[in-house]
Chains A and B, each alone.
Chain A
Amino acid sequence: MKKQLITLDINDQLYQVAVTPMDILVDVIRKEIGLTGTKKGCGQGDCGACTVLIDGKPQLGCLKLAIACQGKKITTIEGVADPVTGELHPLQKSFLDHGAVQCGFCTPGMILSSKALVDSTPNPSKEEIKRTLAGNTCRCTGYILIFEAIEAYVKARAEGEVK
């Protein structure tokens, strides 16, 4: 089928890509644009590896048509660190400090899901953190270290230690 040029706004950068209507967002981000931080696990909406933020909210890249994402602001894991200095976001640092990353396959999705939560909620409870991450599967860490990393970040932010 004939491809058409669309513009996607990813991490505040505009990308022109040629797609067919059938092309799925996560594949376009990884294969056409080359941002391979976003992962693809199940392709069925179950694992959350493909999570990206669309207009600030976590959505599943494996269930979105790329063509339907024109005019929306997409954030992938590559857009979380400081765009100028490249310094990691304090939430990302907290994941590293707490050993919340093992193989790392779930991590981009985990970071984006939790980033959307901490951006919209000043002081999320453990229950809120768990509920928010219920759609992000991790087969390595057992989740505890991930919850601790997020709680530590929220606490440090509340105490004014990090942004």
Chain B
Amino acid sequence: MNILNEFEYYAPKTKSEALELVKSLGSSAKVLAGGTDLIIMMKEKMIKPEAIIDISNLDELKGIVCKDGQGAEIGACTTIAEIEFSKDLEKKYSALTYAAGELGSNQVRVMATIGGNCCHSSPAAETPTPLSALGAKVVISGLAGERELPMEDFIQGNRKNDLQPGEIVSKFILPEPAKKSACRYGYIGLRNAMEIDAVNMAVNITLEDDGTKIKDVKLVMGSVSPRPLVSELIPGLLKGTELTEELIVKAGEAAQSEAKPITDVRASAEYRRDVVGALARRLVKEAYEAAKEA
């Protein structure tokens, strides 16, 4: 079982060399970052690439740049552990650094990259949910140039995304958080460590200048749809309001009505729907309270 199929190994020295290889080797090749998804899929014979293009050593694809008042950029090959421990990111995007710290185990976080987490495009993945809620854009590079997509449009289904032949993800761009805003992430799984989320969710709330009325709200759910699910009902329900217990209950019901959970080894659809309600109520409240303090 643990024997890999035969492949050629390439370790390009620069991003442009990597893009040349990705283009010329085409769909028979796979890009290798941390390998924590790819090597397992190869061991399980779910895929049999003829070539592996190792991009994990490319400095051009690594690193976190937080600019004062101007958001942040995170290279695709930045590891989950680097994100978890980034003090700069934590100040502005604690929902993301918290989610990063909840992915897998310490060893997995040291190896795994944020690019790999998004490109593997598992519905249960940890980081796409907070990235969407924070308004992140995915920067996709090919030999012809770069293009950008909102995180939630990049992932299109279970293990499906918008990457075209010859393209890789090079970085993520996070907008500066709005004044009087806060984003919160939460998940429910079978245990604390080393589990795959049954449901995860992130809620980002911005308040009016008065510091009480909701100006903007984005609620994103993971693991209850083949792709990150951005609630369409929540903004209509909460915008312009001062949050009340009644609205919190309604927000839970709205999220539940939109979720499309399935039953699998980790949880039943019924349980997932309950969890969606509980998480939505908790996170809407937490994000609202935190935005008041912001």
Contacts and interface: CB of A to CB of B under 8 A. Distances in A.
Interface of A: 1, 20-22, 24, 43-46, 48, 51, 57-60, 62-65, 67-68, 113, 131-136
Interface stretch (B4-12, B119-127, B276-284): B4-12
A22 B6 contact: yes
A58 B54 CA distance: 20
B39 A135 contact: no
Contacts, number: 81
A62 B81 CA distance: 19
Nearest to A120: B85
B8 A44 contact: no
Contacts of A132: 106
Contacts of A57: 81, 110
B40 interface: yes
15 contacts: A21-B52, A43-B2, A43-B43, A46-B194, A57-B110, A59-B107, A59-B110, A62-B2, A63-B40, A64-B111, A67-B9, A68-B11, A132-B106, A134-B105, A135-B108
Interface string B51-74: 010101000000000000000000
B100 to A, nearest CB: 13
B107 A48 contact: yes
A63 B114 CA distance: 17
Interface residues of B, number: 30
Interface string B1-43: 1111111110100000000000000000000100110011001
Nearest to A50: B107
Contact of A60 (B2, B52, B111, B192): B111
Contact of B9 (A59, A62, A68): A68
Contacts of B9: 21, 65, 67-68
B39 A131 contact: no
A14 B7 CA distance: 26
B189 interface: no
Contacts of B235: none
B7 A21 contact: yes
Contacts of B193: 131, 134-135
Contact of B2 (A24, A68, A131, A134): A24
B104 interface: yes
A70 B238 CA distance: 54
A91 B194 CA distance: 25
Nearest to B9: A21
Contact of B7 (A22, A51, A131, A136): A22
